[in-house]
A and B are shown apart, each in its own frame.
Chain A
Amino acid sequence: MMLLTAPGGTASSPLAAAALHIRRLPVPVPPVAPFARPAQRRAEPSPLGAVTPAAPRTALLPSAPGCSSGIARGSPRRCRCGAMSVSAMFVALQGALTADQDIREEIRKVVQALEQTAREMLTLLQGVHQGNGFQDIPKKCQKAREHFATIRTQMESLKTKFPADQYYRFHEHWRFVLQRLVFLAAFVVYLETETLVTREAVAEILGIEADRERGFHLDIEDYLSGVLTLASELARLAVNSVTAGDYSRPLRISTFINELDSGFRLLNLKNDSLRKRYDGLKYDVKKIEEVVYDLSIRGLNKEATGGVGGEK
């Protein structure tokens, strides 16, 4: 009964020593173990560190210092192996978690750079919505394509930041930016050729693989999400092209979106984020249908089909 309280203090000493070792704190190891723990805790900027129920407990143990030194000398106490292995285990786990955090930190840095490039490209491509932007679409696409070279080098560095077989472990870090990049690639390809970019082509543009087996790949759900973003962007483009006097483009967009819609209707989506995005597609379809309707009742689509040849 009595000796049981004592080794509780000993459990903290290997941990505290390890903490000081791992974190490489400038604080020297205090001679008395129970005081080492609060020092480590203060140095750590942790919100949990504020919860310090253990500190007063350990400090209040009258027998703790004597006991811990006794253990250090190798006295065979009742729970020697248990105490050592539990703390050793947690030290190992902490090491694993810290390593994990370091990887995430590295990934976040690269992803930030990727997001920056993606923003620049988006700003560039937003120009097509402006009245006079319709004339130099090829030039804008050309410029955007130059940005993809930067993306490819950034992707290359992202690949080196984590073990190749743990793609999905860190997936959420680059998921958003990857979807954005798929959209940008799809938008550029649409503006150039008015077709839907294939998954393989996106992967090639971004400098990654289409298959999971071959390394850093493009997840199918990310690809589909990017394509859905393209749909809403095209709905906007249809409206704006009418404003700019281009009456033929909405008709072509309408055909494209309809095909996309029937494509998506083939999929059995789960109740996840992709499904939510897909639910928005019907509004894009409606929007474009509406534009086409407005054009046709005014006889503007006739004019447009006449003008298509001239435009091309």
Chain B
Amino acid sequence: MSGKEGSGGFRKRKHDNFPHGQRREEKENVNPSSPLMTSFKSFQLELDTRHDKYERLVKLSRDITIESKRTIFLLHRYISAPNGEEVLNESEVKLDAVRRKIKQVAQELIGEDMYQFHRAISPGLQEYIEAVSFQYFIKTRSLISVEEINKQLIFTTEDREETTNTPSSSQDKQPHTWSLKVTPVDYLLGVADLTGELMRLCISSVGNGDIDTPFELSQFLRQIYDGFTFIGNTGPYEVSKKLYTLKQSLAKVENACYTLKVRGSEIPKHMLADVFSTKTELIDQEEGLS
């Protein structure tokens, strides 16, 4: 008899025969202490441990993302607020809090292959890179390097207050150094996100009557854009995807600079809003720039 016939027949009698038969048979035949079952019990343990760790990391990553986003919003206030120093200090405090979270991530990853859990923490790291590079840009008007970021992600027990709520705190009694290395791809993606923030910064600074910042920003963005085109498709797919958004941000900023240059500072602010909302002729105007 062929398999086809059998499966057709099975459907008809599945309700009366199969479930009972299987259950009875299992009780009879499957010995809970057989070697197969013991090994599956250890697999259960191993998989559960791994999934739990993954979940904890995802949660940490979410927290890192949220706090980093808040820091970025805070830094956007820097330009408009008169008390710039205060905002910067506050952002430093916030970033310190984020770094404490990252320290927990690093502790979770002790003795693990970082790339195994990379997908869990990658979004948070990218957001952190965005925040920290944004702050760095506001402070120094230049791009933070991977090495600089990694340097800030080395933790020691004496360095910061003892973490009591870490799930793995039982293991880290001995003085130890933890570090987390940001991968080049995470860094690139974070920097690509940074350009979006810089574009927003550019627009808001024009709104505040700051004429120099847009030019400085367009200059900076152009360097980053050149860098990204240099990388091109060497990087993974996500990087190439960001390139398109980056181009749009750059076009907006360049367009703003064009308008500022042509019409000077007397341009009414409501017209600037128009400039930023029109996207259709971006490429044409870009070519006409300078």
A interface residues with partner B (beta carbon < 8 Å):
1, 4-5, 7-8, 11-12, 15, 18-19, 41, 44, 46-49, 51, 53-54, 56-57, 60-62, 79, 81-83, 85-87, 89-94, 96-98, 100-101, 165-169, 171, 195-196, 198-199, 212, 220-221, 224, 236, 239, 242-243, 254-255, 258-264, 266-270, 285-287, 289-291, 293-294
Say yes or no: A82 contacts B142, CB within 8 Å. Answer: yes
Q: Most chain-A CB neighbours within 10 Å: which of B2, B30, B232, B235?
A: B232
Do B287 and A90 have beta carbons less than 8 Å apart? no
Contact B223 A93 (CB under 8 A): no
Knowing A15-B230, A239-B3, A294-B9, say if A268 contacts B47 (CB, 8 Å): yes
| B48: chain A residues within 8 A (beta carbon) | 268
Give the contacting residue for A82; candidates B1, B143, B235; CB below 8 A.
B143
Could you write out 10 A-B pairs with CB less than 8 Å apart?
Answer: A1-B211, A4-B219, A47-B233, A48-B229, A51-B247, A54-B222, A199-B39, A266-B43, A268-B48, A290-B18
Main secondary structure of the interface of B (DSSP, over half): helix
Q: Is A94 a contact of B40 with CB atoms below 8 Å?
A: no
Residues in A with CB closer than 8 Å to B82 are: none
Q: Mark B208-227, 1 if CB is under 8 A from A, else 0.
A: 00011001101110111111
Per-residue A-contact encoding for B106-144, CB less than 8 Å = 1, 0 else: 000000011110100000000000000000000001110
B289 touches A57 (CB 8 A): yes
Given A18-B230, A93-B227; 13 other pairs, CB 8 A cutoff: A1-B261, A4-B218, A15-B227, A57-B286, A81-B142, A82-B141, A82-B223, A90-B227, A239-B6, A242-B1, A258-B30, A259-B30, A294-B6
Taking CB atoms, residues of chain A closer than 8 Å to B287 are 56-57, 60
Contacting residues, chain B, for A260 (C-beta < 8 A): 36
Cβ B113 vs Cβ A212 within 8 A = yes
* Contact residues in B for A60 (Cβ distance below 8 Å): 287, 289-290
Q: Determine if B21 is an interface residue (Cβ-Cβ < 8 Å).
A: yes
The reply to whether A224 and B142 form a contact with Cβ atoms under 8 Å apart is no
A101 to B185, CA, bound (A): 12
Check if B79 is an interface residue, CB within 8 A of chain A: no
Cβ-defined partner of A85 (8 Å) among B25, B40, B145, B229: B145
Query: A89 contacts B143, CB within 8 Å?
Result: yes
Asked whether any CB of chain A lies closer than 8 Å to the CB of B268, the reply is no
Residue of B nearest to A11 (CB): B223
The residue on A at minimum CB distance from B41 is A266
Is the C-beta of B102 less than 8 angstroms from some C-beta in chain A? Answer: no
- Complex interface: chain A residues within 8 A of B185 (CB): 97
Distance (whole angstroms) from the CB of B105 to the closest CB of chain A: 16
Contact B43 A90 (CB under 8 A): no
Q: Give Cα distance in the complex from A18 to B113, angstroms.
A: 33
Contact B219 A263 (CB under 8 A): no
Contact partners of B2 in chain A: CB under 8 A: 239, 243
CB neighbours of B219 from chain A (8 A): 4-5, 7-8, 79
